[in-house]
Structure 1
Amino acid sequence: MPKPVVSESARRRRRPTKNGVVLSEDLIVRTALRMLREHGSAGLSVRRLGIALGADPSTLYRYFAGIDDLTLAIGDLLIGRAMDGWHTTGDWCADLRELGLRIHAAYLEHPQAAVLTASRISGKSHEIAADEAILGLLRGAGFPDREAVRVYHAFIDMTLAFAALDAASLALPERARRADEEMWQATYARLSPATHPSIAAVAPLLVADMNDSAYPTALDMLLTSAARDRERNGSARGA
């Protein structure tokens, strides 16, 4: 059975591991993130993590309840990296767009980790800080609370959904990913106008666009819609 999780100060290892480092939550999470990048989800286990850290695998249970708890911490780390250096400018729409792009990019830097964590809710510090920032932007812009939650829900779910989708593509074996990318040219661009007139008409555009993420476009569409709703609701209240 895993040992109970205790406070950081109580569980910190005083003596260096075989690799000459002192264990901490941050070190374990960063090492796990590196292992995911190098070996994929199948390569992440308590035993392998212990070997990489030069520590008895059972020691890791003093920091995390198990691999799932560690996975949530990895997701929170990615959110923290997205938030690092971000600040508000007074333009809620621009600020929200920048934050969305940062979150999406942070996940795509670690596609194997993104596939594991984008659909999870960690309840950890960076995730909570991001949620507070998003809701603060919307409420500060004058969105009523119910509308702020509606836009927040659409924004965060869309951002993480695109992160998971785009990361899953990046995480494919190189051969499979190349085959998917070439399908637009190899198949769609060769369809006959007689049988597929709409596809044939836009085939060059499909070839040029479809291997790029649609997230920036979808994000702009969401924010434009939210801004219009805000203006319309504001006008209705002032009438």
Structure 2
Amino acid sequence: MSERVVPEEGRRRRRPTKQGTVLSEQLIVDTALRLIGEHGAGALTVRRLGASLGADPSALYRYFRDTDDLLLAVADELIGRTLRRFRPTGAWRADLRTLGLMMHADYQAHPQAALLTCARVTGRAYEIQAVETILGILRSAGFPDAEAVRVYHVFVDQTLSFAALDAATLALPAGARKAEEGAWRGTYARLPARSHPHIAATAPVLVAEMGRSGYPAALEMVLATAQARLGAVRSPGPPPPTGRADAGSGPG
């Protein structure tokens, strides 16, 4: 696509496309998300989008500067799908757990798009709303600003990292995915205790655990750590000793 975008007030088509629909930014984003799911990254072309929409490809210039601009809109839509369903309760740990699990699930529903978007910063409305929402949850819970930002950073990066990792597995060809799943039972569960005592001892648990995403457990670890840090902020320990004793000087 080119670098020109028609101002918002001039975008609406006066006539429907060949398929009888009126173009809109939302329609283009939804179509792009569907095409990425069906055909992967290669689907995000002006020609394919135009054909799917029944519109001249040049009409897309009225909404997006180029395909990367459209990809950022797709990324923001995935965030929006989570936010439109999220209902905070006021319990910060439960709210972050719910939000994280919802974000992860929404990315897993669109693994091909997740691979393309998890590392992107959109700067768009839904992403801004998400940042505001998460920081609001943390600051309302009593986290000082610097601590709230750190927890936000870890929470979001962890969620997106697992979303991309798990999406990569879901995006594998069926044969490769089946082979990976079978490796835990076919290889690891059969290793002898004499050569691999720790794997053999934990094999049943290992096979069961590695067959599912590690994100829920990792999320609980982050939330537990955040809870401990909040407790430390609320109940600070005694001040360090003063004078020569804290200078670290020894005899001589």
Question: How far did 1:238 drift?
Answer: 9.5
Alignment partner of 1:134 is 2:134: yes
Alignment partner of 1:118 is 2:115: no
CA–CA separation in structure 1 for the residues paired with 2:237 and 2:21? 61
AA aligned opposite 2:56: D
Question: How far did 1:84 drift?
Answer: 1.2
AA aligned opposite 2:213: S
TM-score (norm 1): 0.97
Question: How far did 1:237 drift?
Answer: 7.6
Question: How far did 1:111 drift?
Answer: 0.4
Q: What secondary structure does 2:236 align onto?
A: helix
1:9 matched residue in structure 2: 9
CA–CA separation in structure 2 for the residues paired with 1:147 and 1:46? 44
Question: How far did 1:11 drift?
Answer: 1.5
Question: How far did 1:57 drift?
Answer: 0.8
Question: How far did 1:9 drift?
Answer: 2.3
Task: Note if contact 1:83-1:130 (Cα within 8 Å) is conserved in structure 2.
Answer: yes
2:50 matched residue in structure 1: 50
1:105 matched residue in structure 2: 105
Further displaced range: 37-46 or 119-128:
37-46
Question: How far did 1:3 drift?
Answer: 4.8
TM-score (norm 2): 0.92
Query: What aligned pairs does 1:196-207 form with structure 2 within 5 A after superposition?
Result: 196-207=196-207
- Bigger Rg, structure 1 or 2: 2
Structure 1 residues without counterparts, runs of 5 or longer: none
Q: Looking at secondary structure, tell me which structure has more helix per residue.
A: 1
2:66 matched residue in structure 1: 66
Question: How far did 1:37 drift?
Answer: 1.2
Q: CA distance change for structure 1 residues 203 and 150 in 2, over 3 Å: closer, same or farther? A: same
Task: Note if contact 2:189-2:200 (Cα within 8 Å) is conserved in structure 1.
Answer: yes
CA–CA separation in structure 2 for the residues paired with 1:80 and 1:35? 19
AA aligned opposite 2:104: H
Question: How far did 1:128 drift?
Answer: 0.7
Structure 1 stretches of at least 4 aligned residues deviating more than 6 Å after TM superposition: none
Aligned Cα root-mean-square deviation (Å): 1.4
Structure 2 residues without counterparts, runs of 5 or longer: 240-252
AA aligned opposite 1:45: T
CA–CA separation in structure 1 for the residues paired with 2:3 and 2:135? 37
Query: What aligned pairs does 1:172-211 form with structure 2 within 5 A after superposition?
Result: 172-211=172-211
AA aligned opposite 2:132: E
2:244 matched residue in structure 1: none
